[in-house]
Amino acid sequence: MAVQSIERAFAVLRALATGPFGVTELAEQIDLPKSTVARLLSALEAEGAVTQVEQGGEYRLGQGLLDIAGATEPGRNLLATVRPWLLSLSEDLGEAAGLSIVRGRHVYYLDHTAPETDVMVRDWTGETLPLQSVPSGMAIMAGWSEAELDEFLRLPLEATTAYTLVDSEQVRERISAVRSLGYAWGYEEGVDGINSVAVAISDGEGLPIAALHVHGPAYRFPDPDRTHDIGIQLADAAAGITEQMSD
């Protein structure tokens, strides 16, 4: 029975590695009774291996498991390495911070931290948005070759708000600006009511592997006088992450 419980627990963890799930959805995903999955999640949560996004909501992998994963290969586990930087950014700037990667023609959100504020941005972990609709995607694409960018812009671009860039030349102009500045801002282009700033995280050879971002409600973020300072702060954090992962 103990071995079966371990096998079932690993089935839960493998499923959650692909994104957050509620109990019912997770039970269907791994073909186990809902009551069994609920007990497994409770035990795993007690050990820090999983965490609940919000009370009664979805579950995702927890920091305890990420710390163990990072310890097996010090400095090279992206999630474990970036999490302390996210916590520091969200605390310092008073807004949500996150990590994302490219998945097809979309940005896929891997992690999220947020301070306690009166108006909080919801957790986007496990969800996607079109690459060119958010600063995270723009920051990553700024590190692409012209051939890679041409291939992406060859197909129609998807819009998620009235402000999403869908004209290929406008996207090229934005990416050119991002290359000059080293960071990207977006104003309600990916999600209505949300402004965001992002920078790319590069590998040891300077190629983009992920993006670091901070976002908040458009009515309060950013302070217009601090847009450059915030961008530079993120760029410095990304450089620190790259250096840490290269050690």
160 pLDDT more than 90: yes
Give the C-alpha separation, 232 to 217, whole Å.
20
* Fold exhibited by the domain 2-61: Arc Repressor Mutant, subunit A (1.10.10)
Q: What is the pLDDT of residues 71-84, one digit of tens each?
A: 444 434 788 788 88
Q: What is the pLDDT of residues 26-40, one digit of tens each?
A: 888 888 999 998 999
Percentage of the chain lying above the pLDDT 90 cut: 51
Question: Which of these, 88, 92, 128, lies nearest to 108 by C-alpha position?
Answer: 128
Q: Tell me if 219 sits within 8 A of 160, measured CB to CB.
A: no
Homologous superfamily (CATH) of 73-246 is GAF domain (3.30.450.40)
Residue with tokens 């419980």, as numbered in its chain: 5
| Domain boundaries along the sequence of the chain | 2-61, 73-246
- Whole-model pTM: value is 0.71
> Checking DSSP bridges between strand 128-130 and strand 184-187, what pairing results, if any?
unpaired
